[in-house]
Amino acid sequence: MSRLTIERVVSGYADMEVLHGIDLCVPEGEIVTIIGPNGAGKSTLMKTIFGLLKPTAGRILFDEEDITGLSPDRVVRRGLAYVPQVENVFPSLTIQENLEMGAFILKGHLRDRLQHIYELFPVLGDRQKARAGKMSGGERQMVAMGRALMLDPRLLMLDEPSAALAPNLTATIFERIAAINEAGVTILIVEQNAKESLKLSDRGCVFAGGLKCFEDSGPALLANEEIGRLYLGG
């Protein structure tokens, strides 16, 4: 079954169309990676799926239901979660408060959920009372992912989770992403530094100039010499 289906989506900003008709399918339980150069429209697609931008044409289906144009808080309630590329934590809130905000729409106790996130990212458990703004880049990425996982989403969207991270941290993050997927969460990733991500992925797509120009299985995309030369840095 398709968890997320994008049909001929056209979207962009007030004065500029960025996506010129994107089709994409994210099957249930899989990891799908979108790669592509700067300005290809990868982040724009994520913002459009999540209701921060309204598409001017096309449809977005989540578990066969139309979610086109829903506001972000409605999208969250449907079971999607999104970690933006930049500014993805609340800097003046503590780690624990950041995670609590991830479950804002829930009533009642969050202890089990918090416990679950601290098991996934033990570093966060050790520093629950530290302000997120004071954390390193890698820890912040974990806070952001933890926040997004608080509601047990059915689809997790990650925009460049390894951007600006040291190589050993990148490995940790991708290992966590694999574990999250193992637990049954479908994942859509945008990556520029895409080799690590494609290794994990069931499918990979290449975006350029607001269009999807290529799609294949993750390993096949990695093995593709032309893609490697053009988009994966040799």
Partner 1 sequence: MDALSRIPQLLVYGIVSGSILSLGGIGVSLTYSILGFSNFAHGDTMALGAYLALALLPVMAQLGLPSGSLGPLSFGWDFVASLLLAAVGTSLAVILLDRLLFARLRDTHRITLMIATVGVALALRNLLQFVWGPQPHYYTTTIQRAILIPQLGIRIKPDQIFIVAAAVLLALLLHLFLRYTKMGKAMRATSDNTALARVTGINTERVILWTWVIGASLAAVAGVLVGLENKFITPELGWQMLLSIFAAVILGGIGNPYGAIVGGLVVGISEEVSTAFISTGYKPAVAFAILILMLLIRPTGLLGRRR
Sites of contact with ligand ATP (CB under 6 A): 13, 16, 18, 36, 38-44, 85, 192
Selection from Mg ion, ligand ATP, partner 1, none that 16 binds (CB < 5 to 8 A by kind) is ligand ATP
The smaller minimum CB distance to Mg ion, of residues 143 and 189, is found at 189
Selection from Mg ion, ligand ATP, partner 1, none that 92 binds (CB < 5 to 8 A by kind) is partner 1
C-alpha 49/C-alpha 5 separation (Å) is 10
Residues numbered 111 to 170 that lie near partner 1 (CB under 8 A) are: 147, 151
The smaller minimum CB distance to ligand ATP, of residues 51 and 102, is found at 51
C-alpha 200/C-alpha 218 separation (Å) is 7
Minimum distance from CB of 148 to ligand ATP (Å)?
18
Candidate list 11, 48, 68, 88; residue touching partner 1; CB under 8 A: 88
Lookup result for tokens 């954390």: 135
- For residue 233, which of 41, 33, 35 has the smallest C-alpha distance? 35
Footprint on this chain of Mg ion (rule: CB under 5 A): 43, 85
Quick one: tokens of 175? 């290992």
Minimum distance from CB of 42 to ligand ATP (Å)?
3
The arrangement of strands across the sheet holding 16-27 comes to 16-27, 2-13, 57-62, 65-66
The arrangement of strands across the sheet holding 186-190 comes to 80-83, 155-159, 186-190, 31-35, 203-208, 211-217
**Is residue 230 classed exposed, middle or buried when 0-12, 13-18 and 19+ CB atoms within 10 A define those classes?**
middle
Q: Does 181 interact with partner 1 (rule: CB under 8 A)?
A: no
Minimum distance from CB of 196 to ligand ATP (Å)?
16
- For residue 154, which of 179, 115, 184, 176 has the smallest C-alpha distance? 184
Q: Which residues bind partner 1 (CB under 8 A)?
A: 50, 52, 71-73, 75-77, 82, 84, 87-93, 97-98, 100-102, 104-105, 147, 151
